[in-house]
Amino acid sequence: MKRHWSTLLARFEALSLRERILVLSASTLTLLVLFLFLGILPILGALDRAQLRVQTAEDQMLLFASLAEQYQAVHTSLEQKKSVIENGPRGQALSKLEALAQRANLRVDSMAPESAGRNEKYVETKVLVNLKGVGLADVVNYLSQIESAQENFAIKTLRIQANRNQATLLDVTFTVSSFEPLGTPRTQ
């Protein structure tokens, strides 16, 4: 290795001043380019990738916080619904719907229980309600009373069509659903 350096040094000393300046400039430029491509650019690339990972992690944290907030809201709503179901009146869907119809000054054409589902904790009660020849305001009032009743009724299906005999009146068919905990029914 020393011999190679000695040979290079001897050749360098044999060059003219102008040639030495050119060789030193080219060598310096080559070293700077090598330093840039092998030292600086990889470090800058690593910094960019690190900043991108940090930004991605921050975005994921914001998304996670938003999802956690949504989960908490849904969980709170579910707990409230469970409480209403657990503590609400039971076994009165038909009679309560009939009483709400009377309060809305409506005559129910027919009201019939439908088959519904159940799981290990709750049983669903469904009632099919038919109204014939009723006014729109009366229907809206009745549906509003059903939705706001303490029994936690929910209107699952709704079909409205013009009455065949009087075009200003409506025929309305809808399904009301409610849930009760499994066990012995109680009334309030």
Dist. CA 170–CA 69, nearest whole Å: 43
Smallest CA-to-CA distance from 88 within 177, 175, 176, 181 is with 181
Q: Is residue 188 part of a domain?
A: no
Nearest to 31 by CA among 39, 41, 22: 39
> Is residue 116 predicted with pLDDT exceeding 80?
no
Residues 117, 157 within the same domain: yes
Do residue 56 and residue 34 come from a single domain?
A: yes
Residue 57 has, within 13 A of its CA and on its CB side, a CA count of 6
Tell whether 33 and 97 lie within a shared domain.
no
What local confidence, expressed as pLDDT, does residue 182 receive? 75
Give a yes or no: residue 123 inside a domain: yes
The region, left, alpha or beta by phi > 0 then psi within -120 to 50, assigned to residue 9 is alpha
Domain assignment of residue 144, yes or no: yes
Residue 187 lies in a domain: no
**Domain of residue 51, residue span:** 2-83
Q: What is the CA radius of gyration of the chain?
A: 41
The structure tokens listed for 39 are 């030292």
Whether 105 and 72 share a structural domain: no
Assess whether 135 and 167 both reside in one domain: yes
Per-residue pLDDT reduced to its tens digit, 118-147: 777 778 888 999 999 999 999 999 999 888
Share of the chain above pLDDT 90, in %: 39
Q: Please report which helix (H) or strand (E) contains residue 184, including its range.
A: none
Give the number of domains in the chain.
2
Distance separating alpha carbons of residues 91 and 150, to the nearest angstrom: 13
Ranges 2-16, 69-83, 92-106, 172-186: which has the least confidence: 172-186
Is the pLDDT assigned to residue 186 strictly greater than 70? no
Give pTM, 2 decimals: 0.55
